[in-house]
Amino acid sequence: MSRKHVKRTTHDARRTTNIAVLASGNGSNFEAIVGAIKRGYIKKTCVKLLITDKEKAYVRVRAERLGITQLYINPREYNTGGAFDKKLIQVLKKEKIGLVVLAGYMRILTPVFVKKFKNKVINIHPALLPAFKGARAIGDAYRYGVKITGVTVHFVDECIDHGPIIAQKPLPVKKGESLSGLERRIHRAEHTLYPLVIKKISEGKVKVRNRHVQVG
């Protein structure tokens, strides 16, 4: 496990929601979220920590450039009985994290983790759930021939791509559009919708009861 400290923007801990972003790959959503906070679009919120399970993930480069503390946890050091998620819980509690944001995080969270952070973990999915769950959602929807696809932000529960839906953004599939073209538009939509949802959460405008989410 390695941790790298870099300069962070100071914040008032009494008024600020601390966010931890969990990511495994490129990190474009991570950068969109950090950018929205730095611009003042999302207030009373601080991305305190990036956690990744991939040593060479490009998201780590983005974190260093943006001045966000990062933590790489090597899964090989925590490969038994949910030890990896237990380590995550330990770190998040120590850092007083109020919201966990999954941004291309490819590990499945254990029920123990989800229970510990109930309704405090959100994820973004590149399709209109409950359709086209899984890691290949954009391609699956495209090959199925849907006329409308989109993006979903939802709370995370014990099942994959299943938690209560917070917000969705539909996107029509253009006639003759390539898969790569659709992917680019989906990602642009993600970079808009995810910061918006985090903004609403930071303002106390997201309420959840069972599977019903009210966004003010």
- Residues 56, 24: Cα–Cα separation, whole Å: 9
162 is catalytic: no
Q: Residue 172: what are its φ and ψ, rounded to 5°?
A: -70, 140
Choosing from 11, 125, 154, 187, which is the catalytic residue?
125
SS3 (DSSP) at 78: coil
Q: Token digits for 106? A: 């490819």
For every residue of 39-92, DSSP letters joined together read TTSS-SEEEEEEEES-TT-THHHHHHHHT--EEE--GGGS-STTHHHHHHHHHH
- Residues 210, 165: Cα–Cα separation, whole Å: 11
Who contacts 144 (Cβ-Cβ below 8 Å, separation ≥6)? Answer: 132
Q: Token digits for 175? A: 């006639």
Place of tokens 């959503």: 29
Handedness of CA 159, 157, 18, 205 (dihedral sign): positive
- Residues 161, 23: Cα–Cα separation, whole Å: 16
What positions carry a catalytic annotation? 125
